[in-house]
Structure 1
């Protein structure tokens, strides 16, 4: 299994890069691990920003949600 900290680091990196910000500018507000992710799994990260600077995210492997949460800038 891939450690949760590694998954969160990936999420932060992807969302920060898409916003043109350094990864250190984000803080994890919440995270819920729903299913294990294994090496080789193709994880898709979906997120939506809100006007208050928070981004809610969902990660999926296939049709299975594996991680949900939110980040604050």
Structure 2
């Protein structure tokens, strides 16, 4: 499952993050991934927990970010975000285990 998003350069959170060299805050990236999860699997509802997240590279305002989602069993979903060939975020969300 793939989707993409862009955080515009005029987003309100960028003015203080960081002056002179803005970068997209990680919370905005995670929110965009959650939106991709909701669009890809609306029947699941929002994940119950963030199992792990790693931000190996910065995202500049206006950069296109591609999101790839990969199921990992019944209760986990992996995600990878890339700007071009560069991985900028990877991690895993989880839901309560099925009864």
**SS at the partner of 2:39?**
helix
Larger Rg: 2
C-alpha deviation, 1:22, in angstroms: 7.2
Report how many aligned residue pairs link the two structures. Answer: 72
Tell me the TM-score normalized by structure 1.
0.88
Residue 61 of structure 1 pairs with residue 83 of structure 2: yes
1:5-57 CA distance string (max 9 Å, x none): 1100110111122101476x212110000100011100000011122320011
2:73 corresponds to:
51
Structure (1/2) with the larger strand percentage: 1
Superposed structure 1 runs of 4+ greater than 3 Å apart: none
Q: Unpaired runs of 5+ in structure 2?
A: 1-22
Tell me the TM-score normalized by structure 2.
0.67
1:28 corresponds to:
50
> Distance between the aligned counterparts of 2:24 and 2:44, measured in 1?
23
**SS at the partner of 2:37?**
helix
Which of 11, 15, 19 is residue 41 of structure 2 equivalent to? 19
**SS at the partner of 1:35?**
coil
